[in-house]
A and B are shown apart, each in its own frame.
Chain A
Amino acid sequence: ETGVTQTPRHLVMGMTNKKSLKCEQHLGHNAMYWYKQSAKKPLELMFVYSLEERVENNSVPSRFSPECPNSSHLFLHLHTLQPEDSALYLCASSREWGTGELFFGEGSRLTVL
């Protein structure tokens, strides 16, 4: 139990669907992150929010849309995804943006058909 909870754990969606991944942290952290892990590739940073403001967008396609309504919650809205977007999506938080110790959730395994 890391204090970061992700739902759903598994998601299968068609290319025309709209779905959302949710992340909640109970650690009182100010920074939250979305990472993507594809098979046999390193974790790739997608987005960073610090104090609810997006501070990093790592050239992610617009079919991925993050939302951070408060410092405890982070969403990743998914729309018209491609099969190559199938991956493990990991949410993480840290005390402040810039402290290296990230606390990860268990991930949401996404399959796009």
Chain B
Amino acid sequence: DQQVKQNSPSLSVQEGRISILNCDYTNSMFDYFLWYKKYPAEGPTFLISISSIKDKNEDGRFTVFLNKSAKHLSLHIVPSQPGDSAVYFCAASDAGGTSYGKLTFGQGTILTVHP
């Protein structure tokens, strides 16, 4: 049973437009969420996070939105740039529970930004 799902395996966007990557989760105990970005032949790198006490967190061109009632989070990239082309992983943790520090990852979404 996959507790974190990224239902879109891929997304293609024109440069300058908005990229929206989605993630759904089933475990209501999750209270900390992260996005990681991965280029080919490199390990994932941390991008942005959000705690369940917030519904939005912004860092430059990247904004993460959390809808706890829908168990849904999304990553918005505005404006999208060709260098943003990568695999994006959503991850979740129940920081206060027994699996403290154990991140559950989604399958990833391949983002391609066309010039």
Chain A contacts to B: CB under 8 angstroms: 2, 4, 6, 31, 40-45, 48, 56, 58, 90, 92, 94, 97-107
Given A42-B2, A42-B108, A106-B41, does the pair A101, B101 have CB atoms closer than 8 Å? no
Cβ contacts A to B, 14 pairs, < 8 Å: A2-B45, A31-B101, A42-B4, A43-B103, A45-B102, A45-B103, A90-B44, A97-B100, A98-B100, A99-B101, A100-B49, A100-B95, A103-B45, A104-B36
Contact, CB under 8 Å: A42 / B105: yes
Given A40-B107, A100-B49, A94–B43 Cβ distance below 8 Å?
Answer: no
Residues of A within 8 A of B43 (CB): 2, 4, 6, 90, 92, 104-107
Give me the 4 closest cross-chain CB pairs, A-B, nearest first.
A104-B43, A98-B101, A43-B105, A42-B105
For the A-B complex, the count of residue pairs with Cβ-Cβ distances under 8 Å equals: 64
Q: Considering only CB atoms and an 8 Å cut-off, how many residues of chain B contact the other chain?
A: 25
Report yes or no: B32 in contact with A100, Cβ–Cβ below 8 A: yes
B34 adjacent to chain A (CB < 8 Å):
yes
